[in-house]
Copies of this chain bind each other. A is one copy, B any other.
Amino acid sequence: MIRMDAEDKTKTNSGPAHVLTMEDWDVSAIHALLEKAQYFADNPEKLPLQRLYAANLFFEPSTRTKISFEAAERNLGLDLLHFEADTSSVIKGESLYDTVKTLESIGADVVVIRHGRERFFDELRGHVNIPIINGGDGCGHHPTQSFLDLLTIRQEFGTFTNVNIVIAGDIYHSRVARSNLEVLERLGANVYVSGPKEWMSDELLQRYLPMDEAVEAADVMMMLRIQHERHTVKMVAGPDEYHKRFGLNEEKAARMKPGAVIMHPAPVNRNVELADALVESGRSRIFKQMKNGVFVRMAVLHYVLEKQKGWLDQ
């Protein structure tokens, strides 16, 4: 290891060696420091520890997705660069592209991004050299949420073929839910929808089941979160009324088939789309979904880094 000149190069001759201003550094001390920096640049393999870095860029509130990615990253042994949107240069107007390029330059090996702008990734794909994982783009996509739903269903039934899945709630305004519908159908499941008819397109109405029929047909009741903030006008029914007409309550749950399960992406509006008592009932897989969220995110991270680095295969 290259040693710095042993003399203290700062004006303060006792105490710790602060680094405060350039004026404190004489020419030989500057050269010694540059030598050391160049040594670090030239000898990556001699760093005390060799790390892979993930940066999680969450421009919108999240508990479960952000922490779940963090747990997945740490479980795989990845290290974190802690990006905080609200104290970053983004508030000085820096673009998402420049922010990601910056993180790439600093050493991020993978970035996870949640952003309010739909398809935020279109300006990045093809222009950055590290993998981007979509942690949710506005009302658009949320692939790791889909993967965790899929894993939960597969664990339950061992297959997707002919599994009856009812997606209930505001599926029309949720592209995530429609994306789930599409992928479940591709995988062989029978997918139905339920909930307020005024929230359905004509296409969706072709697979519509009234709630009373839905609970009896379903192997999986996928309840959607009512996003109050987006429905002040539309939601003619209040929460109690909604719960009674379109929510899943204990009486309806009792009529579900043996082995049928309840799923929900959480956070649950208790006693709106789902009765409080059902959240942790035997039929519920809601907390299982959260556990599975960590495993699918590990798999997704592993997938992109394996391609990028041949990582874990050495």
Chain A residues near B (Cβ < 8 Å): 1, 3-4, 8, 12, 15-25, 27, 30, 33-34, 36-38, 40-41, 47-49, 51, 53, 55, 58, 61-64, 66-68, 70-71, 74-77, 79-83, 85-94, 98-99, 101-107, 121, 125-126, 128-134, 140-141, 143-144, 146-147, 150-151, 154-155, 179-180, 182-183, 186-187, 266-268, 287-288, 290-296, 298-300, 302-304, 306-308, 312-313
- Taking CB atoms, residues of chain B closer than 8 Å to A125 are 12, 15, 18, 20
A47 engages B75 (CB within 8 Å)? yes
The secondary structure that dominates the A interface is helix
Q: How far is the CA of A11 from the CA of B91 in the complex (A)?
A: 32
Q: How far is the CA of A103 from the CA of B267 in the complex (A)?
A: 12
- Taking CB atoms, residues of chain B closer than 8 Å to A106 are 64, 67-68, 71, 290-291, 293-294
- Taking CB atoms, residues of chain B closer than 8 Å to A101 are 287
Q: How far is the CA of A90 from the CA of B66 in the complex (A)?
A: 13
- Taking CB atoms, residues of chain B closer than 8 Å to A36 are 298-299, 302-303
- Taking CB atoms, residues of chain B closer than 8 Å to A18 are 121, 125, 131-134, 304
Q: How far is the CA of A25 from the CA of B179 in the complex (A)?
A: 12
- Taking CB atoms, residues of chain B closer than 8 Å to A298 are 36-37, 40
A15 engages B126 (CB within 8 Å)? yes
- Taking CB atoms, residues of chain B closer than 8 Å to A182 are 22-23
A267 engages B62 (CB within 8 Å)? no
A17 engages B304 (CB within 8 Å)? yes
A17 engages B308 (CB within 8 Å)? yes
The 5 residue pairs across chains A and B that have the minimum distance between CB atoms: A105-B290, A16-B131, A48-B77, A37-B299, A17-B307
A22 engages B82 (CB within 8 Å)? no
A75, A106, A182 pick with most chain B CB within 10 angstroms: A106
B105 engages A303 (CB within 8 Å)? no
B33 engages A147 (CB within 8 Å)? yes
A143 to chain B, nearest CB (A): 5
A143 engages B48 (CB within 8 Å)? no
Q: Which residue of B lies closest to A7 (CB)?
A: B307
- Taking CB atoms, residues of chain B closer than 8 Å to A24 are 143
Q: How far is the CA of A309 from the CA of B262 in the complex (A)?
A: 31
- Taking CB atoms, residues of chain B closer than 8 Å to A293 are 106
A288 to chain B, nearest CB (A): 8
A105 engages B12 (CB within 8 Å)? no
One of B20, B62, B75, B268 near A87 (C-beta < 8 A):
B62
Given contacts A106-B291, A126-B12, A187-B30, contact A62 B88 (CB under 8 A): yes
B94 engages A151 (CB within 8 Å)? no
A108 to chain B, nearest CB (A): 8
Q: Which residue of B lies closest to A228 (CB)?
A: B93
Q: Can you sample 13 A-B contacts with CB below 8 Å?
A: A12-B126, A19-B303, A22-B141, A34-B150, A34-B296, A36-B298, A41-B151, A61-B92, A70-B81, A71-B106, A75-B107, A98-B268, A102-B290
- Taking CB atoms, residues of chain B closer than 8 Å to A151 are 34, 37-38, 41
